[in-house]
Amino acid sequence: CLVVIFFQLYGYCYQDSNDIPDTLTTITELGSPLEMIQLLQTSWEDRFRICLSLVRLLHYLAHSPLGSVTLLDFRPRQFVIVDGELKVTDLDDASIEESSCTSNSDCFMEFPARNFTLPCSVEGRCQNMNEKRNLYNAYRFFFTYLLPHSAPSSLRPLLDKIINATGNRNKHDNAKYILFYPSPSVNSEFTQKCVKSANTKYRRVPEAFIPDENYRCWPSYHHKGCLLSVFDVNEAIEICDSYSQCKAFVLTNQTTWTGRQLVFFKMASNRIMPDPDKITYVKVTD
């Protein structure tokens, strides 16, 4: 779990010289800075994976061996992306201290758009303040941007429930359970997306590939072509029918992290090349 949510340390070297006293050099895995604008241009499937990484982090911080841990500087700049997963790089502002209190008014949390007041326990500590702070920061910096944008229509009711729960002070107690166990249902619904039966006919060409005839679409896994994920051939047909320039598509043997198959959509089929790992479908025209 730690390897998944925290930046991995491969080694370190302590250096003490006249020129550079008390210096510690670390060697870590390589990650990409988290740029929200770039993330919004990626597929919803990839953004959902990042949110799941964040959910695992929230769960660990709430139940760490040290107790409940809060990240006082919970911002995108404190995270990086490694192989599609979100990881924490800066723990300088982590704290395990729950705020002391004598009344509920001492447990006041102020945010730019919303304020919360938590109960003061009999032990004189604000109840679950660390966990609440992490959860709301995840809501305002990540979930509100990454989850709803271009989400599958079948999943929007569930996603609305998650977002409303994480941003609502009265639902925070239940929100963590909604968040911590969404992956089976969301993965299942997204992977087994229901599609309408298409009327357009396609000719199946096994062990074949169309090397050219690319066009751009959004969102795409390929910056120079239209490469999307589908559950099955029927969904690929539905997508191809929805693009006026699409005249064929190629099923690859590659899948996304949820098991959906990657498909190239093409605007013509003038040149078909043999390829044992691919299957081409060409739209039949009258």
Rounded to the nearest angstrom, the gap between the alpha carbon of residue 209 and the centroid of all alpha carbons in its chain is 31
Alpha-carbon radius of gyration of the chain? 24
CB 257 within 8 A of CB 49: yes
SS3 call for 200: coil
Main-chain dihedrals φ then ψ at residue 5, nearest 5 degrees: -105, -15
Q: Which residues contact 265 (CB under 8 A, 6 or more apart)?
A: 215, 217, 225, 226, 227, 228, 236, 239, 240, 243, 246, 248, 249
Catalytic residues: 73
117 vs 108: CA distance, rounded Å: 4
**What CA–CA distance (Å, rounded) separates 73 from 183?**
27
CA distance 211 to 224: 12
Do the beta carbons of residue 274 and residue 208 sit within 8 Å? Answer: yes
Helix spans in the chain (H): 2-5, 36-40, 44-62, 129-138, 144-146, 156-166, 172-180, 183-191, 233-242
Per DSSP, the three-state class of 30 is coil
State how far Cα 17 lies from the chain centre.
Answer: 44
